[in-house]
Amino acid sequence: MAFEVEGARVHAGVSFAQLSDRSGIAPAALADLLEGREDFTVVDLACIATVLGVSVTALLPGAAADDA
């Protein structure tokens, strides 16, 4: 999921710092998620999706392929 989240973040034009601040996920915790050291929770995904203006399902692996 980290790959999908990072792609959505870049596509939305949201910086790492903005995503951390707006989602309420501490920078160190967000870095751990995006680098695959920790697993995303449903709450993490919901907060991130809200900030990025996408659905939670858009952040799941294979979502882009399913939309094609």
Q: What CATH number is given to the structural domain containing 50?
A: 1.10.260.40
Question: Which 3 state secondary structure label does DSSP give 47?
Answer: helix
> Please, which pLDDT band fits residue 49 given cuts at 50, 70 and 90?
very high
Instruction: Give residue-wise pLDDT tens across range 14-43.
Output: 999 999 999 999 999 999 999 999 999 999
In a domain, 23, yes or no: yes
- Per-residue pLDDT, 68: 42
By C-alpha distance, which of 26, 21, 29 is closest to 51? 21
What mean pLDDT is predicted for residues 41-65?
A: 92
- Sign, CA torsion 19/24/26/32: negative
Is the residue at 42 inside a domain? Answer: yes
Let me know if residue 44 belongs to a domain.
yes
Cα separation, 68 vs 14, in Å, equals 24
Closest CA to 1 of 25, 46, 27, 21: 46
Please measure the distance between the N-terminal and C-terminal CA atoms of the chain and give it in whole angstroms: 18
Owning domain of residue 20 = 2-63
Average pLDDT of span 42-67 = 88
Residue 68 lies in a domain: no
